[in-house]
Structure 1
Amino acid sequence: MGGEPPAGGPGAVAGPSGDGAPKRGISSAGATIAVLLLLLGFTMAVQLKNNSTDSGLTAARQEDLVRILSDLENSEERLRQEIAALEESQRQLSSGAAGREAALEEATRRGDDLGILAGTLPARGPGLSIQFSAGGRPVKASAILDAVQELRGAGAEAMQITGGDGASVRIVASTYFVEADGRIDVDGRRLPGPHTITVIGDPQTMLTALNIPGGVVASVTGDGGNVTVQEHEVVDVAALSEQTDLQYARPGT
């Protein structure tokens, strides 16, 4: 007989609704749109950050930009030299029988370097002597501090400051400068003017740092003072930093 096919048979077609309807997932177009929105948000965040940084540099003075660029170039050169030295040390230390001797030499050199940085060892090398003489007003302690910072940024390796009475104080990382009765107190030692900084490092690089527009030389001369800089093939930084006896700290294991 020509009856209708039974429900569920090969001729049956599922309706658009009900439990038998197929569930549709996220289409490829929707996924693409979501990814694009995420990328757009990330790009906007990066752009806002860059705009904030650029606006800060745009507002900076020309002399500040010159100083920043000079410091970055000097830092890059020092890092390149340090990388080359470390690679050479690695090569020597891994060269077999000569490794022990190279390790001893390296340890000795590192110890001397740390002693110079800490101010516990004297140092000798090429550098500058920089004398600060007062004009109508005494040279400010902040000007001496600015000079020390500019010299450090230019790669200074060892420094000392000498007062008009001939007394010298080693300049290390913890050294402080305070104005006191027309003199400058350096780590508790009161030094009268004129003040002379003796520094070891590359003379030309340090000269450039001192004489940048708006730098320490311009600041002191603008206040009526005078800065005399002399270049030397060899200078001695002989003043030593007094070491504090540790009360609590002990070498770790």
Structure 2
Amino acid sequence: MNTLIIIPAYNEEESLESTVSRLIATVPDVDYLVVNDGSSDGTVQICRENGYPFLDLPCNLGLAGAFQAGIKYAYRHSYDCAIQFDADGQHLPQYIHDLGQALQTSDIAIGSRFVNQPKGSSLRMLGSNIIQSAIKLTTGQLIHDPTSGMRAFNKRMIKLLALGLNMGPEPDTVSYLIRAAHAKVVEVPVQMAEREAGESYFNWRSSAKYMLRMTLSILFIQFFRKRLEGDAA
């Protein structure tokens, strides 16, 4: 399967080099693309010095915008599979082939921490449970780790994500694709590491807003978006 790893990077100069080095060492047969999301640090210099393939966005678009820039690249270059992968070292490359293999029988594969492990009792896990319940209520599908950022998309999903509006790699988009494009979603058990360094897209305040926004979007807003019957085949 012709696979592209999309690595959104915002102020990740401290962790990007080690992340990409592990990626290359573990899956040397897989292409990757760093999307520098308007970083104010030396992220783009790291890419240039090491010869990493990268897109250099002129301003910070946020995770959804950076990922969609990468997914448009994947679509234009006819990749069969695109995998979202964090630049901060949390995602482990040994699961990449498992995610790609899962797309043999599905449209979206999510690297899940909680298929075989219980969730903790933090506020973030409470938010994850609420989003999980909203997806179950609106689609009938149980996704144990809906906020996992390690997601793989097949060729059909790449096209929909690249050409659609507001199609960021978020739980509400996954919920929408299940309903509107009859996407089949599976979870692949993974473990994740702690962030090595750098600046996260989310702090506690933005995380709380994110959880609320995702829940409202899944329960209400996504029902006003058109179905994708014509693109589902």
TM beyond 0.5 = no
TM value normalised by structure 1: 0.26
